[in-house]
Structure 1
Amino acid sequence: MAVLPIPFPENLRVAGIRLGTARAGIRSGPGDDLAVIELAPGSQVAAVFTRNAFCAAPVRVAKEHLAYQPRWLLINAGNANAGTGAQGIEDARATCAALARLAGGQPQHVLPFSTGVIGEPLPVAKICAALPQALSSLRESGWESAARAILTTDTCPKGARLELSLAGRRVTIAGIAKGAGMIAPNLATMLAFIGTDAHVAAEDLRLALAHALEPSFNAISVDGDTSTNDACALMATGAAGGPQLTQKHPDFPAFLDGLTQVCMRLAEAIVRDGEGATKLIRIRVEEAQDQDEARRVGMAVANSPLVKTAFFASDPNWGRILAAVGRAVEDLDIARVRIWLDEVCIVAAGGRAPEYREELGKAVMARPEIEVRIALGRGRSAIQVLSCDLSYEYVRINAAYRS
């Protein structure tokens, strides 16, 4: 069960984008497991992908097709088409060709995405058989159906929506994401699809996406594992009209801020739905020498199994947090470090804070949302990382994933 899950936004739609779903029978259990996203002609698409050397076949094909101004995105759940060699590439291309034939385009105008079990051949025939239904169900209001169709071990659909005024026009930025396990920076086992009706130049769209990723999808961790299939696509239809937004436009910073907000909401929804999670942990690192140092410290705490299991047990074993911080910075002056659990100071002057009492720590650890604030006393850089606890249920989910 997700930690106080964020409700899916009502009336989520973006002018110029339609979404349709179908049941292909790839993912176990009921419900649709195939989604198609159709973009209005002239739309621009930017995307980023996993840095895992064993990146999946659809990642490789999508990278190739990005140069051809995509019109459709094809997403399947239940099979990652990763670790499938040359056949996996052929299969990904075959699904693109099948969609293009039905939709009246070219195969290179389709971006494929997959999520699910690694190492199994992609069931191309099942996908092709389900494509007519997915296309016939295309509609602007199809975001929630698509969000449900792309889930794997997730317990709920994840969506975010924001409206703002840009260049004298009312603009929407909205998106969906999936992910619950294999979540770590450089994306994770996550897929995210974000759309806007703003008119944004292709190069500026890529810059905006890179900017928005750092404090959002690249600042979360459920279990420290980075997947083979991570992808995040940003689509701009220009349907809102108005002048083109470029880096030189006075409203471009507002667009960056809005996009970042949407990405951060989706990223938080992923962590709240972490496999077996019972607590959301916000790790705030302050007074670091630079962003890289702040990130190292934050991720050392976020990825520590000892820290995560202590949170699950509501055990204020603050020595585990201290140890994680210490191994992340070799030349750390521990006398300058202060650490808090919410409002309770647990570490100061190189050791246990004089005012700290065990019952205060226990009271904080029992909360469903907790902030760990770490002041390094080394500089002015700061970062926030989102993580969750590690429970018995996480082990059960992953032990039984293929059975």
Structure 2
Amino acid sequence: MATRYMVRRVLRSINAYHYTVWFTWSKFSINSKNLQNFGTGILTGLATYSIYSDVVQAAHNDLQIYKKTFMAEPITAVEQLQKNPNDMRTKMELLVMKTQADFCRVLEKLENGNSFKVDRWTRKEGGGGITCVLQDGQVFEKAGVNVSVVTGMLPPNAIQQMKARGKKIEDSVPFFAAGVSAVIHPRNPMIPTIHFNYRYFEVENPDGTTQWWFGGGTDLTPYYLDEEDAKHFHKALKTACDKHDPSYYPKFKEWCDNYFNIVHRGERRGVGGIFFDDLDTPNQNEAFQFVTSCAEAVIPSYIPLVKKHKNDGYGYHERQWQLLRRGRYVEFNLIYDRGTKFGLYTPGARYESILMSLPLNAKWEYMHEPKTGSRESQLLEVLKNPRDWLDKANSDNVQV
């Protein structure tokens, strides 16, 4: 297959180069005008692959070659993806596949030999997913990074949930959903847990029109408070938001604090981050580019924290506190999390993948209260009273 290409280095990120690739396939072409539709770090059919330099070689070929950089075969047939390069379903599927692979490879490098179990699955109602789980690692006690690309008829419970958010949806409509979701539970209590999820949703109305929106976010759950970690994390997310709209970070930060709220405990799950849903402005392409920036911010926001703390010392007391906080994590995910509920409501749901977010070990202790003035009580104070980590006094620079 004849291919013309030109590669220009446009940006350097953490230990990696990003490339912009112009190429022509015999079946279709992508020119500079079309490149505006793909967002930083990803091209339909071929994407800049931020962790591995072999992206340049992959760019000389078609998607049959590029797919080898993923953790598994895409859910949608490669031939179909190639035929629909400008369709948002194609672009989002490739984004979530790339995000999963980037993150898994970085985590594997920190593990020194332990690797993810890759489980590709399909559902008879339409679509499927790729579940990647690493358990009992030296650094990560349990790490899960999921991709799902599913189609079918929207179940009644999900319709009710969407109508409660103001969506005007008929009682039985086809839907498409693509997303990537990860929860990382480290072994060392000094390393925080991270969760992120970015997703795209389409509903086909009876008149043939389509409703679409994006949602997602990234949030941090430490077991011991390190203010510099929190500032670094929030600064990385603010940088991603500010590329698109300066109002996004403060709005989505507040949304995150309110969403990840364990109401019956009067505590937030962690020190927050960003969270948004039903994003359908200013237009589909710009919303996609914003989600792409957020997904690309995950690695620089979190991996430096893992490297910083993975060799920190801890003892029995710190481990028991970590297990108690994980119990709170379980409470939120099973009682309040909308993503968990939607997954469980969906026909053909794969429960192992949905419950991947739960830790390998957790603990509940009756009427536990940390000692006044302890590091544990310091964390609890922040969880009960969310902080603005990036006010003028906390405006440290963070390299992203």
TM-score range (shorter-chain normalised) is under 0.3
TM-score by length of 1: 0.26
Relative contact order, higher structure (CA 8 A, sep 6+): 1
User: Going by fraction, where is helix more abundant, 1 or 2?
Assistant: 2
Q: TM-score, normalised by structure 2?
A: 0.27
